[in-house]
Every structure is written in C-alpha cells, then in structure tokens.
Chain A
Amino acid sequence: MELSVLWFILVAVLFTGFFFLEGFDYGVGMLLPFMGKNDVERRIVINTIGPFWDGNEVWMITAGGALFAAFPHVYATMFSGFYMALFLMLVALILRGVAIEFRSKDENAHWRNTWDWMICLGSSLPALLWGVAVTNLIQGIPINAKMQYAGTFFDLLSPYTLVGGIAFLLVFLFHGASFLTLRVEGEMIERARRYAVTIGLLAAVAFLTLVGLTYTNTDLFKSALASTALLGAVVVFVLGYALLWMKKFGWAFAMSGLAIVFTTVAFFSGLFPRIMISSLNPMWNLTIYNAASSAYTLKIMSFAALALVPIVLAYQGWTYWVFRKRVTAKELEY
C-alpha cells in the first residue's frame, strides 16, 4: 500500500476516534446545565467525563498534527482558509478547558454557574463547527490554482453545511446523553434517558436531512463504501435509539458511537483520494498525491504511528476500565 494512502487512513482513524470520544464529552458538556439540577448533580455530570476529556481532546490535536506531518498543504490550506471558524473554535475550547478545571475551585454559586455555561457553550460551538467543516470538505470550497482558499468566512455557511453543523451537534448530544445513562446513578439515569429520547428524535431528523442533502449536494454516493457506511450510520442510529428506549443503555451507547464512526468513515471514503475539494476546478483539488509529505517523512511517521497508537489505545482503554463505575455523590472530592 502506498504510504499516502496509509496516512489518509490514519488521519481518518484519528478523526474517527476524536468524534467518537469527544462526541460524548461535548454532548455531556452541552447537557450539563440541564442535567444537573443542583450543584452536586452538576459535579456528578462533570465527573463522568472528568478523567477522560483532556485525553479525548488530544485526539483532535493529534489529528491536526498528523495532517501537518502527512499532508502539509491540507493543513496550510484548511487552517488558513477556515481562519475565523478556527478562531471561534479555539476560544470555545479554551473556555471549555479552563471551565472544567476551575468551576469547582470556588464555592461561589455565581462563579460555578458562569463556568457551567462556559462548558456548555465551549462544547456546543466546536460540535457545530466540526459539522460545518466536514460538510464543507465534502461539498467543496473555493480553492484556487495556488492551493489557497479564495472565499470568506461566510462562504463556509450554506444551508447544507449548517444542516451538517446542527446534525453533528444533535448526534453528539444524543451520544452524550446515552453516555450519561451509563455513568450516573438513581433518578439521573432516567433524566438522561428522557433527554436522549427527545434529542434522539431531533437528531434523527437532522441526520436524515444531512444524508438527503449529501445526496443532492455532493458526490459522496458515487463511492460504494461511503454510501454503505452512511446508510449503515442511519441504521445503527435508529437501532441505538430503539435500544435506548428499551433501556439497553450499554448497547444504545455502542450504537450511537458506531453511528459516529460510520458517518466519519463515510465522509472520508467519499473524499478519497481527495482531502479538500475545490469547487472552482477539480484540477485544483488537494489530494493524497499533490498535498502529501515526502515518501521518507511518511515512512518515518508510519513506523512511529504504528508503534505508538496501540500503546495509546491500551492505556486510554485502561483509564476507562479504572473509572468504569458510575459516579456517585459520595465520592466527589474533586
């Protein structure tokens, strides 16, 4: 296999891991002010993701780093092209990170409530923006012959990409709610389930709209793998919703996660071998061929990734094992 293909897959794997993992902790963050009726409950909600969220965020940072190392032109075009969107995302992620860390460090109710809303905002905005970004990639954006983004911030917002943003946000919310059904205790489980049931319906509508618009606006369905994956995502999402209804929480979470995995796979395989599509001229697409690093760099990075990724998966998996028990009000020392 060509190394640039391997790296396309690795980048896809990193984004898949990122959307799966941060999907639920963005979801939990967004639900925080609504799930937690009092301070103790809010701390419980935060502690369900407390040990994990920072490690999850590293999936995004690694995906960015991998793009830089393997496809420098994509990194350059995307980050300079999505300038204002990324600025907003950075502000959101900064607020979210410090809010999670700071909110319980002072007794003041106003302090805590403010930071809780920062967590909510800081989780919603990136969820929305990632949906907008992914749909822009598959739909194509104005990239000129010099590999430069030739549009403005507002060119990134179209009905299709906004539906993409909303669908991502709602699916992450559902994923987060189903995660909470596994992590909280007592009456909060039922509360999380009720949120999941309501949000799940909205998410299903948004997601189906996204699939429909993807059919009309993009060439994703030309790829058999992408079509199968996207339709598979719809099926497992509906299945997850049904399982949640039946209170099979573990399976429901697995299915909402799988829906995210399938969706990511669908978009990446729909793109392949392109990474950024030019809406101006197909000749100006950024592909795994014209945007990649040298064979030597890809080789070095392949050895490193294949050695390190399994180790990372092992210890992150172990973390989830260590904190597998539900979070209770008794042990809220943090």
Chain B
Amino acid sequence: MEEVLLARWQFAITTVYHFLFVPLTLGLSVLVAVMETLYVKTGDETYKTMTKFWGKLFLVNFIMGVVTGIVQEFHFGMNWAEYSRFMGDIFGAPLALEALSAFFLESTFLGLWIFGWDRLSKKMHVTCMWLVAFGSNLSAFWILVANSFMQSPVGYALRNGRAEMTDFLAVITNPYVWGQFPHTILGGLVTAGVFVTAISAYYLLKQRHLPVFRPSIKIGLACMLVSTLLVMGTGHLQAQFLAKKQPMKMAAMEALWESADPAPFAIAVVVDEKNKKNSFEIGVPGVLSLLAYDKFSGEIKGINELQAAAEAKYGPGNYTPNITQSFWSFRMMVVAGLWMMLVATLGVFFLYRKRLEDNSMVLKLLLWSLPVPYIANSTGWILTEGGRQPWIVVGLQKVSEGASTNVTSTEIWISMIGFTVLYGVLAAVSIYLVRKFILAGPFDEKPVLGVLTKKKEATLWN
C-alpha cells in the first residue's frame, strides 16, 4: 500500500509541476503568433520587438514544459505498470498519436522559428509559430482524450483481462473530452492573457518601453477578458455534464452528503468525513440545482447514496473521494476565475476610457494577478483527478490495482526526492531568468523625452 501512496504523490508532484508550464505554452504560442502576424501584416518593427520579447519568455517556459513532459510519458510504465497493461490498448494510442502528430510538429517548427529569423521569409517564419501553436494545442487534445477515458470510459470492451478499444471514433468524440478540451485551451489563453497583461502592467507602472507594452497590454487584456468569460462558460457546461456522468465528483465538490431536490449551493463548509456530514455549512438554497439543470429544482445525488450504490455495484469499499479537497479546490478555481474576470473588466474599462496608464491602482491589481491563473489551473486538475478517486479508470480499475507491483518504495522515494529537488532548482533558475529578462526589457533603453515629465515612476508596493 505504501508504494501506491508514494506513486500517487510522485504523480501529483510531477503533474502539477508540469502543468505550471503547459497552459502558458498553449496560450502564449498563440499570442506570440498573433504579434508576429501583426508584424508581417503591418511591417511595424514594434510588433517584431514584441514578438522577440514575448518569444524569449515563451522559450524558457516551453523548454520547462518539454523536459517535465518526458517524465509524464515514462511515469505510466514506471509507476503504473499494471494500469498500462490493463489500459494500454486504449491509452497508448492517443499518447503515440500525440507524439506523432503534435510533438514532432511543435519541436521541429520551434527549432525553425528560433534559428530561422534570417533564413526564412517573413511569412514562412510566422507560419512556423502558428504551427507550434497548433501542435501544442493538438497535443493537449490527445492527452485529454486519454484522460477523458479515465474519467468516463467509452468505446471499449473488457476482453483478455484488459480494456480493449472497440471504437476509436467514440474514444475521440467522448463528450467528456469535448468538455475538457475547450476548457483547457481556454485556460491556456487565460494564463497567457494574464501573463502578458501583468508584465506589461509592470512596464507601464515603471514608465518603461511604453511603445512596446501599450500594444502588448491591449492584446493581453483582450485575450484575458474574452477567454476568462469563455473558460467560465465551458466550465459551467462541464459541471452540468459531471452532474450526469460523474455524480460522485459533483457531490464531492459540493460536499453534499445527502441527496437533495432542490439542492443548495454551499459557500463554505467544515467537513466531518468520519461521521459523513458537514459540521458547519452555509449555502444558498436551490442554486446547485439551478447550476446543474438551469432550473430551481432537480435532484442532485448525495455522497451517502452514491457510496451505497457503488458498494452494491462494485462490492464493499470506499468509493468516496476526499471531500474537503474536492470542495475547496473547486471553490478556489471558481474564485480565481471570478477574480480574473473582475480585474480584466476593470482593465478593459480603463483602457477603453484611455485612463489605464494613469491608474496605478488598476495596473498594480493586474500585475499582482499573475499567480491567479496558476492557482486556477492547479486546483482545477486537483479537483478533476482527486475527484476520480478511488478509481484510476472510473468503474474499471482502482488506483490501488494500477500501480507497478515490482517497484519498491525505496525506488519511488529516491526518484520522488530526486525529481522534487531537481524541479525546485529548475523553478528557481527559470524564475531567475524570467525576472532578469523582464528587468532588462526588450532592448537597451534610450532616454525617451516626455516620459519623466508626465508622471513620476510608480513603486510596485503602495
């Protein structure tokens, strides 16, 4: 049992870490491609400066996503060999397709993009970045196809002691993936929007490189606002889907122990997992039913009923995920989303009124929102994967049955400590580099007349 727990921790650490970098790659590849397209269309050198500056930050982030991604591919065989045997017939295919159709594309064309400024025509060069963006987002699709099968298996039959694929089309048109995929790539665009906005806000506060970061913050804010709204919309649809397909995850993220019709939406609870109830709870009546079914009635199944049903179906055992974790990770994600919507709206409002640069309050708000999408991305996945417990593939295999049987806890400890230390060091190095690039700015500054007379440089803290 200890091995399973360690393997889970290792997977959680390496996956959350990997996914710190992935969303920015997904979104920023698109924004850099947009900036370069503007350069090619208008011939304005400012856009080229923007492309190069954001491109440089993109590359640091990209490589971190790549190297931590290799670990992800190896993990399934190393720590989850029995899962791989049971699921390989279905799960291996999207992984191989991801490498063939997406990884080759993004890595090859990124190489061309980095080294090709003087060797390719402008149009060819920008096409390379679009292909990188396409490849990255396509890879997200394949890995989510794989993940969606774990959440909601389709197109398979249980044969020869394993799950075998019977319908590839069903696997890639799994309704679950069409909830997850838009939500994930939009989450990437939100992250990129906030990233570009926050760093541009820093320069506007510092009154530096204004010709570069005025257009940058426009692109960043537009992306942030539009994709935050859309990501909330797709998240809502996904939750409605959960109510039907993964009722236990839904009940867990609402800490709803007893079935209710109409069901209230809990704002805060203190969970008493031992006695299977909430020792404290405040909520709004009927709102959960409204969210799930678009009307103030409709039953949401409670944890206790679902647990009993699962025991009847699969035999005795605990079929309830960690309630406190599910409940609060969902709320943190939602609050992060609402926060970003609010500050993006404020930013766009002041931008539209042409008063954004004078409003250091709003600029600071935008700058300090930089960690928020990362919180949303991480808690979103903690909810998705944690809420799947105890299953590794819902209804087909439990996590405890999926782990490698011949790997010792010592081996897992060594690799877990090794990866964690290495990841910590690399986080420090990449933050150092990004900070350095930001402090240096896109090019050496010459004093710009008129800037200092306009306003004093703002500090970042008060």
Contact = CB atoms under 8 A, between A and B. Distances in A.
Nearest to A122: B67
Contacts of B93: 69, 293, 297, 300-301
A308 B108 CA distance: 14
Contact of B78 (A80, A308, A331): A80
Contacts of B120: 322
Nearest to B164: A294
Interface in A54-110: 54-55, 57-58, 61-62, 64-73, 75-81, 83-84, 86-87, 90-91, 93-95, 97-98, 101-102, 105-106
Nearest to A315: B108
A53 B422 CA distance: 22
Nearest to B112: A319
B414 interface: yes
A154 interface: no
Interface stretch (B24-32, B80-88, B382-390, B441-449): B80-88
B114 interface: yes
B406 A81 contact: yes
A328 B175 CA distance: 53
A62 B104 contact: yes
A147 B77 CA distance: 13
Given A65-B98, A331-B118, A102 B433 contact: yes
Contacts of B437: 105
Interface in B72-101: 73-74, 76-79, 81-82, 84-85, 87-93, 95-101
B404 interface: yes
A52 B111 contact: yes
Nearest to A327: B115
A24 to B, nearest CB: 15
Nearest to B66: A97
A129 B101 CA distance: 28
Contacts of A93: 67, 70
Contacts of B219: none
Contacts of A150: 406
A312 interface: yes
Q: In the complex, which of the residues B81, B405, B433 has the most CB atoms of chain A within 10 Å of its own CB atom?
A: B81
B47 to A, nearest CB: 18
Residue of B87, B101, B112, B414 contacting most chain A CB atoms (<10 Å): B112
Contacts of A90: 70-71, 74, 419
Interface in A106-130: 106
B24 to A, nearest CB: 15
Interface stretch (B56-64, B183-191, B277-285, B299-307): B56-64
Contact of B64 (A67, A98, A301): A98
Contacts of B418: 87, 91
A94 B422 contact: yes
Contacts of B162: 72
A106 B56 CA distance: 13
B92 A69 contact: yes
B173 interface: no
Which size bracket describes the interface of A in this complex? Answer: 35 or more
Given A65-B73, A68-B88, A297-B93, A94 B99 contact: no
Nearest to A77: B81
B97 A294 contact: no
B108 A319 contact: yes
A98 B164 contact: no
Contacts of B66: 54, 97
Contact of B77 (A55, A68, A301): A68
A279 B260 CA distance: 60
Contact of B88 (A52, A69, A105, A308): A69
A92 B71 CA distance: 11
B259 interface: no
A58 B78 contact: no
A55 B414 contact: no
Interface residues of B, number: 72
Nearest to B102: A58
A9 to B, nearest CB: 15
B426 interface: yes
Which residue, A50, A91, A94, A300, has most C-beta atoms of chain B within 10 A?
Answer: A94
Nearest to A147: B85
A293 to B, nearest CB: 5
A80 B407 contact: yes
B119 interface: yes
Interface in A292-334: 293-294, 296-297, 300-301, 304-305, 308-309, 312, 315-316, 319, 322-323, 331, 333-334
B411 interface: yes
A90 B77 CA distance: 13
Contacts of B274: none
A61 B407 contact: no
A76 B84 contact: yes
Interface in A18-67: 47, 50-55, 57-58, 61-62, 64-67
B9 interface: no
B103 interface: yes
Contacts of A70: 92, 96
A148 interface: yes
B111 A101 contact: no
A64 B82 CA distance: 17
Contacts of A67: 92
Interface string B418-456: 110010001001100100110000000000000000000
B286 interface: no
Nearest to B78: A79
B116 to A, nearest CB: 7
A101 B63 contact: yes
Contact of B97 (A47, A95, A304): A304
A98 to B, nearest CB: 6
Contacts of B67: 93-94, 97-98
Counting chain B CB atoms within 10 Å of each CB, which of A91, A101, A150, A316 scores highest? A101
Contacts of B411: 83-84, 87
A57 B90 contact: no
B165 interface: yes
Contacts of B207: none
Contact of A296 (B64, B73, B96, B164): B164
A149 interface: yes
Given A296-B165, A312-B108, A319-B108, 9 more contacts: A70-B96, A75-B88, A87-B415, A98-B429, A102-B63, A102-B430, A149-B406, A296-B168, A322-B119
27 contacts: A51-B114, A54-B66, A58-B103, A58-B107, A61-B99, A62-B103, A66-B99, A68-B77, A69-B97, A73-B88, A75-B76, A76-B84, A79-B78, A81-B406, A83-B415, A87-B415, A90-B70, A98-B64, A98-B430, A148-B406, A294-B165, A297-B90, A300-B93, A312-B100, A316-B108, A319-B108, A331-B118
Interface of B: 59-60, 63-64, 66-68, 70-71, 73-74, 76-79, 81-82, 84-85, 87-93, 95-101, 103-105, 107-112, 114-120, 159-160, 162, 164-166, 168, 404-407, 411, 414-415, 418-419, 422, 426, 429-430, 433, 436-437
Counting from the closest, the 7 A-B pairs by CB-CB distance are A72-B88, A79-B77, A69-B92, A68-B92, A51-B111, A65-B96, A80-B81
